[in-house]
Amino acid sequence: MRVFLLHSNEPTLHLLLERLRIPHGTQLTAQQEKQQPCIIHWGCYHAEKASRLLVQPIKCQLRANNPRKAAVVLKLHGIRWESARQQTAEQELVDAEVQQEGRLQPPQYTYEYIVPVFHLQALTLFQRKQGIFYGAPHPMQTQQPPDDFTEVTEETPSYHAIRAKREAVKAIYALGLDFGVVRIGVGKGGELFITELETAPTLTARLAELFSDALHRFAEEQEAEDYTPRPAVMLGADPEFVLRNPQGKIIFASRFMEKDGPVGCDAIVLPSFRKIYPLAELRPEPSRDIGQLLKNIHRTMQNASRKISDESLEWLAGGMPVKGFPLGGHIHFSGVPLSSEFLRVLDNYLALPLVLLEDTTTGLRKPRYGFLGDFRRQRHGGFEYRVLPSWLVSPRLARGVLSLAKLIADHYRQLRSRPLDEPLVQEAYYLGDKQRIRPLLPGLWNDLVRLPAYRTHERYLTPLKTMMLHMECWKEQEDIRVRWKIGPFARKEVSSINS
């Protein structure tokens, strides 16, 4: 797949174009359009072209460039937006007397960062940390960052720098974008604010260097993906559950198990940034076969049962069966490249329909947890998709979710529907509004049925579809050991987990 950068000769873009080795221009030739290249939109002053793969859609750029609309979308994802343009407009409406009375104070930050982002990656980070400062001219509007912004090059950046990078990537993705430059302020209490976001960045020499390198890497990845046979996708998982005693109190998993191993405990970070380890986490052996992966999960549950000596404790899964204890059903992917496109397919075809099965308490984990596009790269080269709640509620649910994830991973390029591009559908996802999501299911499922491998997974997917059509809620307050036949609920004559 050829890559083409479509632009409108935006100011400072010459700094990028003089470095660029991929085709670029203000329009495509008829021959180029026929080839349907991957089109990268730089700026939004040209008509959007039909393509097999679009990077930086025009509609999303226009929305992100509107502070009011951008603020609405970012708030859904749990991101604070404090636009410098909004601040200026508001301050102009307030006279000096009101400011002297202390009813309006300029924004105060202990740190400020400028983060260029491309394709789910923070390219670098510029930092200013000269104590609390008050609103300043936008450094990205000048040819070079101001003297008090320095590029962070150390191998181990600070805690706030790491958070700023993650928040910048999250904001770009949440707005439907693929790249941009994000300015972030850190409040006195450690909270992060997006203060500015550019979809067609004003370039400096350094930013042009960073974006040209990123564009070349992206083009090489696209070429490799087109011409290199892809191995079968391998799936892994690390679903979580909590332990509750007969009195309704949570018993920490760390009481029974270590942090590491096939069965371990996982952390929750308190508002004070202190870690506690109340969650139990299963880490089964990955597999390319869903049936085998389910057996591996069942085996780790049996292992967990031997470690958790108190059989009176209930095992609870789902999203947040107990207030304050959010659970995840992370799925690991190997053999498929991490990309915005793949994440958006997972969001639209897996996370969105799964809302139809949520219990009343599931959505309480959002948006701090379960926000769309949440991922984490893994040392083995793959990544984990962290959006879903813990689907350990039952074997039937687990089989359906993992089969759907495998089907999507094998054929994501053929899945083109994006209902989550609309803010109203995003709102329905975060609010758990099943009545707004239910009419979207038939269209999404029809796309899945057309895939070559659908028949391979049909026996697991049909029950999941039926549950979704009937909006059949899982029960977060039920002990998952009953359906999985674990511990005191095991039956000697049962050799499978087909219940």
Average pLDDT, the chain: 89
Per-residue model confidence as pLDDT tens digits over 209-233: 999 999 999 999 988 877 777 788 9
Q: Is the pLDDT of residue 170 over 50?
A: yes
Read off the pLDDT of residues 386-433 as tens digits, 9 standing for 90 and up: 999 999 999 999 999 999 999 999 999 999 999 999 999 999 999 999
Half-sphere exposure (CA, 13 Å, Cβ side) for 75?
11
pLDDT at 491 (0 to 100): 66
Q: Where are the domains of the chain?
A: 3-60, 66-198, 234-489
Fold of 66-198: D-amino Acid Aminotransferase; Chain A, domain 1 (3.30.470)
| 147 contact partners, CB below 8 Å, separation of at least 6 | none
Band of residue 495 on the pLDDT scale cut at 50, 70, 90: very low
Residue 10 backbone phi and psi in degrees, to 5? -60, 150
Phi and psi angles of residue 165, each rounded to the nearest 5 degrees, phi first: -60, -45
At 89, is the pLDDT very low, low, confident or very high (cuts 50, 70, 90)? very low
30-35 CB contacts, 8 Å cutoff, 24+ apart: 32/2, 32/4, 35/2
For every residue of 9-25, DSSP letters joined together read --TTTHHHHTT--S-EE
Question: Distance of alpha carbon 458 from its chain centroid, rounded?
Answer: 27
Q: What angle do CA 462, 459, 480 make, to 5 degrees?
A: 80
Range in 31-35, 94-98, 165-169, 456-460 the model is least confident about: 94-98
Residue 424: what residue type? Answer: L
The pLDDT value given to residue 188: 87
Sign of the CA dihedral 296, 297, 300, 306? negative
pLDDT at 134: 42
Q: For residue range 314-370, list pLDDT tens digits in order.
A: 999 999 999 999 999 999 999 999 999 999 999 999 999 999 999 999 999 999 999
State the Cα torsion 458-464-467-472 to the nearest 10°: 170
pLDDT tens track for 40-51: 999 988 887 767
Tokens of 168: 């910048």
**Residue 315, φ and ψ in degrees, nearest 5:** -105, 120
Q: Which pLDDT band holds residue 83 (cuts at 50, 70, 90)?
A: low
- As a CATH number, domain 234-489 is 3.30.590.20
Count CB atoms within 10 A of the CB of residue 68.
Answer: 10
Instruction: Tell which residue, 310, 239, 316, 279, has the closest CA to residue 481.
Output: 316
Q: What is the pLDDT of residue 136?
A: 45
CA–CA separation, 326 and 108 (whole Å): 32
Residue 274 has pLDDT above 90, yes or no: no
In CATH terms, are 66-198 and 234-489 the same topology? no
Tokens matching residue 259? 């942090």
Contact of 262 with 282, CB cutoff 8 Å: yes
* pLDDT for 137 beyond 50: no
Give residue 272's pLDDT: 72
Compute the average pLDDT of residues 178-184: 97
Residue 129 pLDDT grade (very low, low, confident, very high; cuts 50, 70, 90)? low
Pairing of strands 126-128, 263-269: unpaired
At 480, list the tokens: 């998952």
DSSP letter at 47 equals P
Higher pLDDT, 2 or 107: 2
CA nearest to 443, candidates 379, 382, 352: 352
- Cβ partners under 8 Å of residue 175, min gap 6: 60, 63, 64, 70, 73, 74, 197
In this prediction, residue 350 carries a pLDDT of 98
